[in-house]
Amino acid sequence: MKVVLVDSGGANLGSVRYALERLGVAPVVSGDPAVISAADRVILPGVGAAAPGMARLRELDLVPTLRALDKPLLGICLGMQLLFESSEEGEVDCLGLLPGRVRRMRPAAGLRVPHMGWNRLAPCGDSPLLDGIPDGAQVYFVHGYAAPVDANTVASSEHGEAFSAVVQRGRVAGAQFHPERSAAFGARLLANFIQRGL
């Protein structure tokens, strides 16, 4: 099993790698299109803003590689947001692997944006990613933008309004939360992705 972490420049790259190593997986960190294309599983991590994130993928000439990938792909945090068609953050076109637009979260009474901290998952669709993760499982979020709940949402969460916490469409999936910082439930999602695919 060859697992590749896309070297997208995100600050969570190291922590995702360590989380996989704790599961007994030795991922390859690469920005090489050939290495990524040859992987059995690909993870696109990311922390930061959408425009610089997409600029980094273009700089490495990875946009066509990720769009053409025929193996399971998991985006984490910003990596999930880059899977969509576009983002309000920087008004940037993204990878277009999932339909929809990522939007800025709106502050609400007693709730701050960015959304930082532990929050509950509400499963709302079928996905092997969620095997063994119960309704109400607490996971760790850090984000100010989010994808709306739609037909590809397999788990939602709420911060003022509902948003997509886990999405999947065919071989493409994403987690808005940080599985590498979400204790046992985050480790379970990563293990499900590695062991079962999509």
- Summarize pLDDT for 149-177 with one digit per residue, the tens: 999 999 999 999 999 999 999 999 999 99
Amino acid 13: pLDDT: 87
**Mean pLDDT over residues 104-120, rounded?**
91
**pTM, full prediction:** 0.96
Q: Is the pLDDT of residue 10 over 80?
A: no
Q: Provide, rounded to the nearest whole percent, the portion of the chain with pLDDT above 70.
A: 99
- Give the CA distances from residue 59 to residues 18, 19, 64, 81, in Å, rounded to whole numbers and listed in that order: 26, 27, 12, 18
Domain that holds residue 91: 3-196
Residue pair 19/186 in contact (Cβ under 8 Å)? The answer is yes
CATH code of the domain in which 147 resides: 3.40.50.880
Instruction: Just list the catalytic residues.
Output: 77, 178, 180
Q: Which two three-digit tokens encode residue 98?
A: 């999932």
Structure confidence at residue 108 as a pLDDT band (50, 70, 90): confident
Task: State how many domains the chain has.
Answer: 1
Q: Is the pLDDT of residue 113 over 80?
A: yes
Say how many residues make up the chain: 198
Which residue type sits at 135? D
Amino acid 125: pLDDT: 87
**Torsions phi, psi of 184, nearest 5?**
-65, -40
DSSP string, 11-45: TTHHHHHHHHHHTT--PEEE--HHHHHT-SEEEE-
Q: Is the pLDDT of residue 120 over 90?
A: yes
**Mean pLDDT over residues 36-56, rounded?**
94
| 3-6 vs 41-44, strand pairing mode | parallel
Structure confidence at residue 109 as a pLDDT band (50, 70, 90): confident
**Dihedral angle at the C-alpha atoms of 89, 90, 95, 99, nearest 10 degrees?**
50
More confident site: 70 or 198: 70
Mean pLDDT score of the chain: 95
Amino acid 29: pLDDT: 95
CA 5-195-85 angle, to 5 degrees, is 50
| 76: three-class secondary structure by DSSP | strand
| 95: three-class secondary structure by DSSP | coil
- Number of CB atoms found within 10 A of residue 35's CB: 17
